[in-house]
Amino acid sequence: MKSFRKELWFQTPNRRDYINITRQVEECVRESGVREGMVLVNAMHITASVYVNDDESGLLQDFDDFLERLAPFDASPQKYRHNRTGEDNGDAHVKRQVMGREVVVAITEGKLDFGPWEQIFYAEFDGKRRKRVLVKIIGE
């Protein structure tokens, strides 16, 4: 069995950003040489997510609007108890929990075995600093 590990680094210009990382994950699959197996892609930070959905600008804004309605950014400790620690990212922890930590995608004949329109996204909820995504591939 082959095993491959790589960290992808991101520093988004905005506090919240949604980045299509499908090409980068495909590059990892190529590098790994795995033809049949699985790839795990997970955010290594508790204020960011990795998820699979459509790369459509309206939908990206819909996700962001939905998350802001659910857990709006508010640095005050009155809104989020987590901010009593001196942090301002209580909202980002909640957003990450809603959008998830990781995805697993099958690799078939050396390619990501997606359904129609599926793309892998890195969602940042507390950006403007360097953060990592782990790509782990196993197979043969």
Which of 10, 21, 18 lies closest to 119, judged by CA?
21
Nearer to Zn ion, 87 or 102 (CB): 87
- Residues 69-128 interacting with Zn ion (rule: CB under 5 A): 87, 89
Tell me how far, at minimum, the Cβ of 93 lies from Zn ion, in Å.
Answer: 6
Distance CA 36, CA 119 (A): 19
Element (H, E) at 39: strand 37-43
115: which residues sit within 8 A by CB, 6+ positions away? none
Amino acid identity, residue 37? G
Nearer to Zn ion, 32 or 89 (CB): 89
Nearer to Zn ion, 64 or 87 (CB): 87
Tell me how far, at minimum, the Cβ of 125 lies from Zn ion, in Å.
Answer: 10
Q: Which residues of this chain interact with Zn ion, rule CB under 5 A?
A: 87, 89
